Amino acid sequence: MSIYADDVVSFTSVLKIAYNFLTGRDYLLKKKSNEKKKLISVALGFPDLVYAADSIPVFPIRMEKFKINLYLLALNTAKSLFGWNITTNLLGIARQLDFLKIVDTIINDVLSTINQKYNDMYELGIVDEKPSNLCYGVNAIYGMHKSQYENIDANLKFTIRCSEWNKYSESLKTIIPNQIWVDIPSIENENQEKSLDIMRDNVDKAIIELEKVTGNIVTDNSLKKQFRIGNQVKRYYKTILHEIGSSDFYPCNPATFAEILGLLTISFQDYNSNAQRYLENMSHLIKEMRERVKKGIGMDVSNTPRLLVSPIFNGWEPETHEIIYKFGGRVIYADWDILGLLEEIPVSKDSDPIMDYAHFLLNASNKGIHCLKNCDTLVNSYLEYTKKWGFNGVIFNQLVDCHTNYSNCYELLKNKIRNELRKPTVIVRFKKIGENIEDLKMKLTPFMDLLTQ
Ligand code: SF4
């Protein structure tokens, strides 16, 4: 992982998001022991019900011990003494003096530590008595649960139309008995109204289960409060993707921008276990980005092809954005937007939050995240997204061990975007972080030549 400390150091908000991500273990264990909060594991960006139950959602990798804690400890001490803005200035000064290369080390470690830990979780996940041949993402999530099951009070899961994912879900029962599953009905065979009723019913049941596990009541108000926070987070996220990501001048170099998007893709899944804090960090991030652009700090990217790389949420090679940057391109990671998870949930005085959440889940399902039997749905989502946001090309990240339709869709996707939008597309294959980097470069070379000639 390369170092772009010059660009990141003035982003206090990025340091905060990274810090909160990596120090999750201490934060969560304190919440559990001191405040008796229940920790509920989540994935894929569905933490709202847990927050509404006054409990803490956690994407379990954040409960791991990360090896850079020593540096972060130093950062935390400075933070407690001076506050974050001054800390960032101090770090800037420290770097100029080459003082222990603290800044470089932090930025480098934040990114490579997360990736290393993902690989560790994947390794932990594959050696077990569960079904073999699961994809990287499913194995990694299984590994995270296997590693942290003692700290997790329950697992909240939204079932998807992938038999491998559902096989993994079954095997999790043996290590985490409290399983709260929300089935999202298949839209193919149901009419809209019936699907909505089933969906609402399933959300209701999940809430009852959550209340049992947490001992807290979920009210309309607690749901609406959480949806308001979530909506604002989503608005900020979309501002970063569309206002900043589509502009001709970036507040940093494109590789750093992609690294920030990568960090957001991972941390969005549980809002770093503190929705209000995450919201504030996102708000600062926008402010800092706009200020830098206004002052002309950053990089002119007007002649740099903008490429969509997706999906990455189940595992991808983070070298991708660096390779593309070196080839003269820029990468946008936008999984949650493409798959409908950045859609807002309407909130008003008389609204029915459970029904509105049911709508939100079905809409996300319609975009493709749960609709793997129907390739057309996914193809349309990508086609529309590429057209709407004017990407110069698309790189599809295919997980080697994905044997479902999701993978088979890529050929169709590739051809549709080529033929209908006349945009170059390429499929890259991913097995494990750090493997096949040379193959990746070889695959991307002719693709980038086409775009930059
Ligand atoms: S569809 Fe493929 S990539 Fe997605 S969870 Fe299932 S096996 Fe993994």
Backbone angles phi, psi at 137, to 5 degrees: -60, -45
Mutating to test ligand 1, I would choose from 406, 407, 408, 432 the residue with most ligand atoms within 8 A of its C-beta, which is 406
45 CA to middle of ligand 1, Å? 16
Q: What is the position in ligand 1's atom list of the atom closest to the CA of 405?
A: 1
Q: What is the position in ligand 1's atom list of the atom closest to the CA of 134?
A: 7
Q: How far are the Cα atoms of 174, 311, 337, 368 from residue 333, in angstroms, in the given order? A: 35, 8, 9, 17
Ligand 1, atom 3: closest residue by C-alpha: 402
137 CA to middle of ligand 1, Å? 7
14 CA to middle of ligand 1, Å? 30
Which amino acids bring their CB within 6 angstroms of ligand 1?
Answer: 135, 137-138, 162, 164-165, 314, 372, 399, 402, 404, 406
162 CA to middle of ligand 1, Å? 6
Q: Looking at residue 115, what is its pLDDT?
A: 87
Q: How far are the Cα atoms of 10, 181, 185, 207 from residue 154, in angstroms, in the given order? A: 38, 10, 22, 13
Tens digit of pLDDT for each residue in 356-389?
999 999 988 877 665 455 677 788 889 999 999 9
Ligand 1, atom 5: closest residue by C-alpha: 165
Q: Looking at residue 427, what is its pLDDT?
A: 94
Strands 39-41 and 154-159: parallel
* Residues 424 and 157: beta-carbon distance below 8 Å: no
Q: What is the position in ligand 1's atom list of the atom closest to the CA of 314?
A: 3
State how far the Cα of 145 lies from the Cα of 289, in Å rounded to an integer.
35
Q: How many H-runs (helices) and E-runs (strands) does the chain carry?
A: 19, 10
Stated pTM of the model: 0.91
State how far the Cα of 304 lies from the Cα of 327, in Å rounded to an integer.
10
175 CA to middle of ligand 1, Å? 22
Q: What is the position in ligand 1's atom list of the atom closest to the CA of 407?
A: 2
Q: Taking Cα atoms as reference points, which of 343, 386, 383, 335 lies closest to residue 363?
A: 343
Q: Digits of tens for pLDDT over the chain (453 positions)?
A: 333 444 444 567 777 888 888 889 999 999 999 999 999 999 887 999 999 999 999 999 999 988 765 665 666 676 766 676 666 666 665 555 444 345 445 666 677 788 889 999 999 988 766 656 778 988 999 999 999 999 999 999 987 767 777 777 778 888 899 999 998 887 655 577 888 999 999 999 999 999 999 999 999 999 999 999 999 999 999 999 999 999 999 988 898 899 889 989 999 999 999 999 999 999 999 998 998 899 888 899 999 999 999 999 989 999 999 999 999 999 999 999 998 999 999 999 999 999 999 999 998 887 766 545 567 778 888 999 999 999 999 999 988 887 765 666 888 888 899 999 999 999 999 999 999 899 999 999 999 999 987
Tens digit of pLDDT for each residue in 286-306?
998 998 899 888 899 999 999
Ligand 1, atom 6: closest residue by C-alpha: 162
- CA 407-408-410 angle, 5° bins: 75
130 CA to middle of ligand 1, Å? 16
- Helix, strand, or coil here: 308? strand
> What DSSP letter does each residue of 97-160 carry, written as one string?
TTSTTHHHHHHHHHHHHHHHHHHHHHHHHHSSSS-S---HHHHHHHHHHHHHGGG-SEEEEEE-
- CA 440-441-447 angle, 5° bins: 95
Mean pLDDT score across all residues of the chain: 86
